[in-house]
A and B are shown apart, each in its own frame.
Chain A
Amino acid sequence: MMPAFHLLPPSASSAASRLDLLALGVLLLTGIVALGVLVLVVRFCTRYRAGSGADRAHPPLTSRMAEIAWTAIPLLLFVGVYVWGAVDYARLYSPLAGAMPVFIVAKQWMWKAEHQNGRREIGELHLARGKPVRLVMASQDVIHSFFVPAFRIKQDLVPGRYTSIWFTPTVDGEYRLFCAEFCGTGHAVMGGRVVVMAPADFGRWLQEGPTQPGMAARGFELFRRYGCSGCHAAGSTVHAPELSGLIGRRVHLRDGRELTADEAYVRDSILLPDKDLVAGYAAIMPSFAGQIGEEELLAIIEYIKESSHDERTGNR
């Protein structure tokens, strides 16, 4: 039995309809050019076939005007398409404030997801319809790529850094998740299922499953176990930066640079503490590279993020 044939994949996210429109625009533009070339080639080939009686007086050899025209007109059209594509692209990477973070960790050859409340899943990802979601993604081994055709969303997961993309699921249903970057023997079977549910159903689903501490709680536990709290806790005698309210804050570095602290910055600071040294602090923090796994890192970062909400009024 062959399943029904559809020309287009299902369209189930905020990004999908915008992208289909862009595709249609580019298709029209390129289609007109291709058709124009085809019509001219066929017409010239029939009209000016050897032996035909067509008028061949004064064949033009070169024409500055023609060259300028067929350089400038495509250029203008292309720049238009470029701007359109770039605006939509920038949108995919500028997450809506308040988009729900979901953490994705990939390894050969499976997808693991963890929600903020600690609910974890493997090979599946449950999302609420109409609720913007921001994926924060890491890989434990090689490069993978998170690809859901129905959402028109794809983002590589690169070991050693976080990548992120956001969208809003719009239609309930089950959609295919593929790995799109070749990752070894099991690449073709590194698939999964994305389930979009009504918000109420999603809320219920989130509470089901084995009870376990939320990510932030697990992060707090790890924060103490790895000894981070010894230096970074508020009352510590060691001169280390205080971390509450760190995410999203502008940070001045010792070498004069300035950056906005995000997940990737915290990750780098744990694994490569000397890379982005904060102004006013000595390089005394040891590296935790090779000791903390990707999932533990995400939990610690989630704890630091949560602590900013709790202590927003506190002394920085």
Chain B
Amino acid sequence: MTSAPETAERAQAPSYLAEDFTLWSWLGTHDHKRIAVLYMLSITLFFFIGGLAAALIRLELATPQGDLVTAETYNKLFTAHGVIMVWLFLIPSIPAVLGNFLMPMMIGARDLAFPRLNLASWYVYLAGGALTLGALLAGGVDTGWTFYTPFSSMFSNSNVVLALLGILVLGFSSILTGLNFIVTVHTMRAPGMTWFRLPLFVWANYATAIILVLATPVLAMTLVLVGIERVFQVGIFDPALGGDPLLFQHLFWFYSHPAVYIMVLPAMGVVSEIIPCFARRPVFGYRFMAYAILGIAVIGFLVWGHHMFVSGQSVYAGMVFSLLSFLVAIPSAVKVFNWTATLYKGSITFSAPMLYALGFVGLFTIGGLTGLFLAALALDVHLSDTYFVVAHFHYIMVGGSVMAYLGAIHFWWPKMTGRMYPESWGRAAAAIIFFGFNLTFFPQFLLGYQGMPRRYHSYPSEFQVLHLLSSAGAVVLALGYLLPLAYFGWSLLYGRRGGDNPWRATGLEWQTASPPPTDNFAQAPVVTQEPYAYRQ
């Protein structure tokens, strides 16, 4: 695929990990790979904090009575879970860790376009994370991650302003990363790396970066307006002051619906890398896959009103948003069909990354199809704000994005560290997570149809059977998530050396050493082939 760098030269350049060992060489680094590792450590920390909140939520819901925590504490727990998982884990997860680490290598570049800005993004992320976590720990926030007004602006007695400030700062980190990615893909592609030779992972992160840059400023403005109303009593969203609460919902979902695609597009990119590699054949319908990514990114901006079918918005607006929501499902369906077709006449092996990718396809399909129930207007009247919605978006964000994130970490772990993870443990964890996930969230579809509302810390006893199943699933899921933490840690010290390209994968990132040298390639690569040139 490329002109291979000479062995002698490669031996001379130390890997990015061995370049320097001081603390400052990490905290002051401009290397996209080291910054990716910094991101990985921080989002892992936040993932387990958010997961702890989820564990307490599921523990409370094992019985109908509110007996473990008070209503007040429960409300703060689900707010903490939502805020941390959305803004501190899911949004940065695949782009900031794997996008950062891989994208420059995948397009044959030495780094991102603005390495210092990249490091600044991480520090901004840390500052936002500290503020947000501070708000959650110093008394907590009880508004839910959606901050609906006028409750958040005028009624809540919790640390709303500090949390808003934290999320505002986090938004800047997103915007800076997005900007960096866009410029990098436009200007730093290696000779021969045309747009339709880009790996789908790069396409996905590019589309995500555009959404980050276009949608996040709207979130920032919305949060500032809530803060202004709360602090200065200026009527914006509270009707008692002359404001309009639905205005908040329009602004919030104008960001937060595209944010769903920020979370899931990169996951689709990951799966599009893994499936061809383990099926040993090119991805089916490459161009259509790229178009589907762009289609999702564009239509995703036009469906925000489907969160508001029972909010009192006009019936005609509801009809338009419903139709557009059905349309946005089409490119997602096209992607699922293309991944399936990629398996046809392949030569398939089932290493851990492939198990995660197949798990993603299954869970994302269920998550996407249950979205059609919610897009169908009359059905949403019944299902909106019930556990059906909770189950639906967890299938997309956890069953989809987290599965893909874990698949990606397993797939590129040898590239990042030079070592292999223990394969049988990897497969066991994938199976445990898949089982635990379904046991946790499938019962919630039934709960929702039965009418169990969201955000209840106590509930009528007829819902207990399904809640108990869900809580039992959460125990299995928690175990599944702790396993990789343990064996990846073990692998850093004792893992078998994997060589430069243990998966015999074709991407440019596999044409250099594992772990790669600081400058990525000994010689600038030249691309002469289509992507996914797999042979059986």
Interfacial residues, chain A to chain B (CB-CB below 8 A): 2-9, 15, 18-19, 22-23, 26-27, 29-30, 33-34, 37-38, 40-41, 44-45, 48-51, 54-63, 66-67, 70-71, 74-75, 78-79, 81-82, 84-93, 108, 141-143, 145, 147, 149-150, 152-156, 158-161, 163, 176, 178-189, 290
Interfacial residues, chain B to chain A (CB-CB below 8 A): 66, 71-72, 75, 142-144, 146, 148, 150-151, 154-156, 238-240, 243-246, 279-282, 284-288, 309-312, 315, 318-319, 322-323, 326-327, 329-330, 333-334, 336-338, 340-341, 343-350, 358, 361-362, 365-366, 369-370, 372-373, 375-382, 384-386, 446, 449-451, 453-462, 464-465, 536
Separation in Å of the A231 CB from the closest CB of chain B? 24
Docked pose: A26 CA to B154 CA in angstroms:
40
- Smallest Cβ-Cβ distance to B376: which chain A residue: A85
Separation in Å of the A272 CB from the closest CB of chain B? 8
Contacts of B379 in A (CB 8 A): 19, 22-23, 26, 85
Interface contact B382-A154, CB-CB below 8 Å: yes
Please list 18 pairs of residues, one from A and one from B, whose beta carbons are closer than 8 Å in the complex, sorted by A's number: A2-B461, A26-B372, A26-B376, A33-B369, A37-B340, A37-B361, A49-B349, A56-B346, A61-B285, A71-B330, A81-B372, A88-B378, A143-B311, A149-B450, A158-B311, A161-B312, A184-B151, A185-B72
Contacts of A88 in B (CB 8 A): 377-378
Docked pose: A84 CA to B156 CA in angstroms:
40
Docked pose: A183 CA to B312 CA in angstroms:
16
Contacts of A142 in B (CB 8 A): 148, 150-151, 154-155
Interface of A: prevailing SS: mixed
Contact of B372 among A78, A89, A108, A189 (CB under 8 A): A78
Separation in Å of the B470 CB from the closest CB of chain A? 14
Which 8 pairs of residues, A with B, have the shortest CB-CB distance? A160-B239, A149-B451, A85-B376, A89-B377, A88-B378, A44-B343, A59-B345, A30-B369
Interface contact A182-B454, CB-CB below 8 Å: yes
Contacts of B312 in A (CB 8 A): 155-156, 158, 161, 163
- Other A-B pairs beyond A149-B382, A158-B246, A178-B453, 7, CB < 8 Å: A15-B378, A19-B382, A26-B373, A41-B361, A48-B344, A85-B379, A176-B451
Interface contact B246-A22, CB-CB below 8 Å: no
Contacts of B240 in A (CB 8 A): 159-160, 290
Interface contact A154-B71, CB-CB below 8 Å: no
Contacts of B449 in A (CB 8 A): 8-9, 23
Contact of A89 among B245, B330, B378, B446 (CB under 8 A): B378
Docked pose: A84 CA to B318 CA in angstroms:
14
Interface contact A82-B326, CB-CB below 8 Å: yes
Separation in Å of the A282 CB from the closest CB of chain B? 22
Docked pose: A33 CA to B460 CA in angstroms:
34
Docked pose: A44 CA to B354 CA in angstroms:
14
Contacts of A86 in B (CB 8 A): 319, 322-323, 377-378
Contacts of A9 in B (CB 8 A): 449-451
Interface contact B343-A41, CB-CB below 8 Å: yes
Separation in Å of the B529 CB from the closest CB of chain A? 13
Docked pose: A40 CA to B346 CA in angstroms:
13
Contacts of B381 in A (CB 8 A): 15, 19, 89, 92, 152-155
Contacts of B330 in A (CB 8 A): 71, 74-75, 78
Contact of A2 among B75, B150, B450, B464 (CB under 8 A): B464
Interface contact B344-A44, CB-CB below 8 Å: yes
Interface contact B311-A82, CB-CB below 8 Å: no
Interface contact A145-B378, CB-CB below 8 Å: no
Of A41, A88, A145, chain B has the most CB atoms within 10 Å of the CB of A41
Contacts of B384 in A (CB 8 A): 154, 180
Interface contact B341-A66, CB-CB below 8 Å: yes
Docked pose: A160 CA to B246 CA in angstroms:
10
Contacts of B536 in A (CB 8 A): 56
Contacts of A179 in B (CB 8 A): 453
- Smallest Cβ-Cβ distance to B244: which chain A residue: A160
Interface contact B376-A81, CB-CB below 8 Å: yes
Docked pose: A181 CA to B75 CA in angstroms:
13
Known contacts A7-B446, A180-B384; A92/B378 CB under 8 A: yes
Of B239, B309, B349, B465, chain A has the most CB atoms within 10 Å of the CB of B239
Contact of B457 among A48, A78, A108, A188 (CB under 8 A): A188
Docked pose: A2 CA to B461 CA in angstroms:
7
Docked pose: A171 CA to B147 CA in angstroms:
38
Separation in Å of the B249 CB from the closest CB of chain A? 9
Contacts of A81 in B (CB 8 A): 326, 372, 376
Contact of A78 among B154, B326, B451 (CB under 8 A): B326
